Amino acid sequence: MPAHAAVWPARLPTQITPPATSLWMNLAISAMRYPDKAALVFMGRVWTFRELMQAAEHMAAQLSALGVQAGDRVVLNMQNCPQLVISHFAILRLDAVVVPVNPMNRAEELKHYITDPDTRVAITTADLAPDLVQASEALPAEQRLKHLVVTQFTDVFEPDQVTAEDLPEAWRSWLLPQRGLPVLSSGQVHAWSELMAQGVPATLPPVQATPSDMAVLPYTSGTTGLPKGCVHTHGTIMHNAMSSGLWGSGTPENVTLCVVPMFHITGMVSLMHTNILLGSCLVIMPRWDRDVAGYLISKWKVTHWTNIPTMVIDLLGSPNLDRYDLSSLVYIGGGGAAMPEAVAQRLLDQYGLRYVEGYGLTETAAPSHTNPPDAPKKQCLGIPFMNVDSRIVDPETLVELPVGEAGEIVTCGPQVFKGYWKRPEATAAAFFERDGKSFFRTGDMGRIDEEGYFFMTDRLKRMINASGFKVWPAEVEALMFRHPAIQEACIISTRDAYRGESVKAVVVLRQSHQGQVSEQDIIDWCRENMAVYKMPRAVSFVDALPKSGSGKVMWRALQEAELAATGAPAKA
């Protein structure tokens, strides 16, 4: 028996058998069981499961008429909103593949999400459409988008009927209608509202996807530049959707606050898919606002809230906290960054809530580890999830290490992805065989305690964690090299009291541009050309970067100097 067997929740099995059906069937079955029950709440409007399924089928028929077939990859680029859920399941209804894209990405980054998955159809919101069009137009004609579906947020709510608490002033400029549609020179742009107003053009093909068929292609960055697609099947996603529901004592009566982005693997799997499977209700926030969150928890009697710790810290720091009733919450947890012990203790003392931290990657369909809700440890990854075998090994020899000794976290389970899209060498390097099982190498360093709980100690991979968003220096550097003034750039982390870490760029300017470009110019350019969480918030100009005898940039030397200057603890 594994060490964590003693703390395993008594009510739960250690192994489960997920449904052997398409993810689409989770929505179809919930709509049959609970046709008039609330599935989504957005800007005060309630969508029933019947309405949600009908909208998804209608959009599926429209996508089919645009040529989308089984196996085709379709880009979905949106903030949290009902159209994201509708589109996601519409794509699955056709046995096609969802390519979720971070809506913070800019045109230069978006090119990769069109070309790498060979995408010809994309669905987005009006505020993001110009960047997608710009990305497509910059590509060779044969690689461009053929169809772009554009929705207004107001396609699913009436602005005049929304309260100020639902729609704060800061959101109005991008949630209210945008004028006109962009133009694709070699394709067509379709208004969501017009497609949804049209009759169903054809009979939909039968759902035939099996657990082994690809369902979702989320992208993850790493140490080698451009993001890599993670092949997830209906089976890998189904396992964690079911497991997440069971772990959190999920029932159809759950009311879940969904502010974690649903383009992200956690929001997609542990929130959207889990709640659709359960037949429970998602209260959707398009982006974080602490007072909107407090209002929604109070108004809709939210019971479950998965988040990142900075959200909890922010809400508890609101001067309006006394106005909100958080007593309906029975489960709160998350990951992406460690929850400060003092904040976790305040949740317990003030609200009787134990913060449940978990751990997972895009490659593991969100959780591979999580804390037992009744026995969580603070600043801990938790214990291996259902059906998961996870170990600590020497990163050089792959020999399993004893309790307490730090090594690489490796994991095996039915939720682990099937490989990197078009990257056989990267796939081969990410896995190894042991005891007849295939283990995925996470690249994270950790240890196990005597009770079987996992703790992270460091990362093998060079990565920056900014408020739970993973920033990969190699990707940021690759983007920065496109600036005409930059000769060399090295990305390191710098201390940030709120985010934990932020991005800093150490830059060597080309001789021709020295004295003509400021640090702020570089920051402004980065803001225009990359997602805001990736962009450097500090830039330092140097005459040269330190290099090894082989010519490699010695980023660790720069990192250690930065940590010493800011008084932050050194990284291993």
What CATH code is carried by the domain that includes residue 469? 3.30.300.30
Residue 246: is its pLDDT beyond 50? yes
pLDDT of residue 459: 64
Among the ranges given (28-37, 192-201, 204-213), the one the predictor scored with the smallest mean pLDDT: 192-201
Query: Which DSSP string corresponds to 183-223?
Result: --TTSEEEEHHHHHHSPP-SPPPPP---TTSEEE--EEEET
Q: How confident is the model at residue 549 (pLDDT cuts 50, 70, 90)?
A: low
**How far apart, in whole angstroms, are the C-alpha atoms of residue 535 and residue 526?**
6
**How far apart, in whole angstroms, are the C-alpha atoms of residue 382 and residue 250?**
19
Residue 41: is its pLDDT beyond 80? yes
Q: How confident is the model at residue 460 (pLDDT cuts 50, 70, 90)?
A: low
**Segment 223-245 mean pLDDT:** 92
Is 126 a domain residue? yes
pLDDT in tens, 330-380: 999 998 777 878 888 999 999 999 999 999 999 999 999 999 988 999 889
* One-letter-per-residue 3-state SS of 81-117: CHHHHHHHHHHHHCCCEEEEECCCCCHHHHHHHHHCC
Q: How confident is the model at residue 572 (pLDDT cuts 50, 70, 90)?
A: very low
Is 495 a domain residue? yes
Specify whether the CB–CB gap between 76 and 263 falls below 8 A: yes
pLDDT of residue 33: 98
Is 366 a domain residue? no
**How far apart, in whole angstroms, are the C-alpha atoms of residue 250 and residue 273?**
12
Q: State the average pLDDT for the chain.
A: 92
The tally of domains found in the chain comes to: 2
* One-letter-per-residue 3-state SS of 513-570: HCCCCCHHHHHHHHHHHCCCCCCCCEEEECCCCCECCCCCECHHHHHHHHHHHHCCCC
pLDDT of residue 464: 87
Question: Is the dihedral angle over the CA atoms 64, 67, 69, 72 positive or is it negative?
Answer: negative
**Segment 92-112 mean pLDDT:** 96
* Residue in the block written with tokens 């709980």: 453
Q: From the centroid of its chain, how far is CA 497?
A: 23
Is 321 a domain residue? no
**Segment 276-283 mean pLDDT:** 98
Q: From the centroid of its chain, how far is CA 446?
A: 22
Is 562 a domain residue? yes
Written as one letter, the residue type at 48 is T
pLDDT of residue 100: 98
Cβ contacts of 281 within 8 Å, gap of 6 or more:
37, 38, 39, 40, 41, 254, 255, 256, 275, 300
The domain that contains 100 carries what CATH number? Answer: 3.40.50.980
The backbone region for 436, taken as left when phi is positive above 0, alpha when psi lies in -120 to 50, beta otherwise, is left
Among the ranges given (6-20, 490-504, 519-533), the one the predictor scored with the smallest mean pLDDT: 490-504
pLDDT in tens, 376-392: 998 899 999 999 999 99
Q: How many CB atoms lie within 10 A of CB 405?
A: 11
Among the ranges given (19-28, 44-53, 550-559), the one the predictor scored with the smallest mean pLDDT: 550-559
The pair of three-digit structure tokens given for residue 401, joined into one six-digit string: 């290490």
Cβ contacts of 216 within 8 Å, gap of 6 or more:
97, 98, 99, 100, 232, 237, 268
> Of 159, 183, 208, which closes a domain?
208
**How far apart, in whole angstroms, are the C-alpha atoms of residue 134 and residue 183?**
10
Q: How confident is the model at residue 569 (pLDDT cuts 50, 70, 90)?
A: low
What's the residue count for the chain?
572
Specify whether the CB–CB gap between 148 and 124 falls below 8 A: yes
Cβ contacts of 406 within 8 Å, gap of 6 or more:
392, 445, 446, 447, 457, 458
Distance linking the first and last C-alpha atoms of the chain = 33
> Of 156, 185, 208, which closes a domain?
208
Residue 84: is its pLDDT beyond 80? yes
Is 115 a domain residue? yes
Range of the structural domain that residue 151 is part of? 49-208
Is 166 a domain residue? yes
> Of 181, 208, 235, which closes a domain?
208
pTM for this model (two decimals): 0.86
Is 426 a domain residue? no
* Residue in the block written with tokens 């934990």: 500
C-alpha atoms less than 13 angstroms from C-alpha of 197 in its C-beta half-sphere: 8
Residue 293: is its pLDDT beyond 60? yes
Among 232, 241, 240, 239, CA closest to 213:
232
Among 533, 530, 553, 532, CA closest to 479:
530
Query: Which DSSP string corresponds to 230-287?
Result: B-EEHHHHHHHHHHHHHHTT--TT-EEEE-S-TTSHHIIIIIIIHHHHHT-EEEE-SS
pLDDT of residue 438: 98
